[in-house]
Amino acid sequence: MPIPKRQRSPLIRKYLNVSRSAQPEARRLGELKPVEPAARREGLPVLGDDQVYVLKYGTDYHTTWCQVVADTWDQAPRRLLVTTLAAVGARTRCAECDQHAKAARTAASQEYHQQTRPTPEPPPDVVVPLKVIGMAHGILFLAAGQEYRERLKETAVEPATPLYVDGRRDGLVVRLDSAHDEPLLLVQLDPRATFRNGPYQVRLRHPLRRSATKPYAVESVEYVKTAP
């Protein structure tokens, strides 16, 4: 199944329309010292250890391929620079990247917790098949069938919900949108992850917190291995 790269549905474009801030006082935050990115994947700069993204006139730095970075790459790629964390000057980490970092730390500590003190997990309730409907700027758009809409309306996405590909954590589930007939799951791929086209599935469970407002939460999204 080929992925339409250039033709984005209005639905996808809606998610990419995020306001950007470009402030000229960025210079005061410290001189930019761009470095070569550790690698490039389809032209896209991939960060190495201790590398971050900065925007030419930006006041933030970015540790993930967040919306701001993705939009800049899309609209003004020459403004997207790579530098080292040591050279960010007075720039602060962008809010979205900060959230990703916190979520990753939470996930790591939860993993540690589960390894050291195994607690009985509630049995998985539901597995819903997903199909790829698009991929743009590191965001993977997965759709579930209409028949799952009611169930997914009752499902929340908790922080640090992983995407698993062959048992590896390759991204984070960022949003579940059941406002349409076909509910959509949005997954932010890690920049180093390789996109796999094919069937995916979402696994639901009960929420971790008792105070949760919805009866279900996303346990994980998984790439479904198919027979060769």
- Binding site residues, Zn ion, CB under 5 A: 62, 66, 68, 94, 96-97
In sequence order, which residues have a C-beta less than 8 Å from that of residue 196 and are 6 or more positions away? 165, 223
CB nearer to Zn ion: give 53 or 216: 53
> CA of 51: how far to CAs of 54, 64, 79, 139, in Å?
10, 10, 16, 21
Minimum distance between the CB of residue 106 and Zn ion, rounded to whole angstroms?
18
CB nearer to Zn ion: give 101 or 208: 101
Minimum distance between the CB of residue 100 and Zn ion, rounded to whole angstroms?
8
How far is Cα 157 from Cα 141, in angstroms, rounded to an integer?
Answer: 15
Minimum distance between the CB of residue 94 and Zn ion, rounded to whole angstroms?
3
CB nearer to Zn ion: give 191 or 207: 191
Minimum distance between the CB of residue 188 and Zn ion, rounded to whole angstroms?
11
Provide the 3-class DSSP secondary structure of residue 57. Answer: coil
How far is Cα 214 from Cα 198, in angstroms, rounded to an integer?
Answer: 29
CB nearer to Zn ion: give 59 or 201: 59
Q: Which of these, 176, 174, 178, lies nearest to 138 by C-alpha position?
A: 174
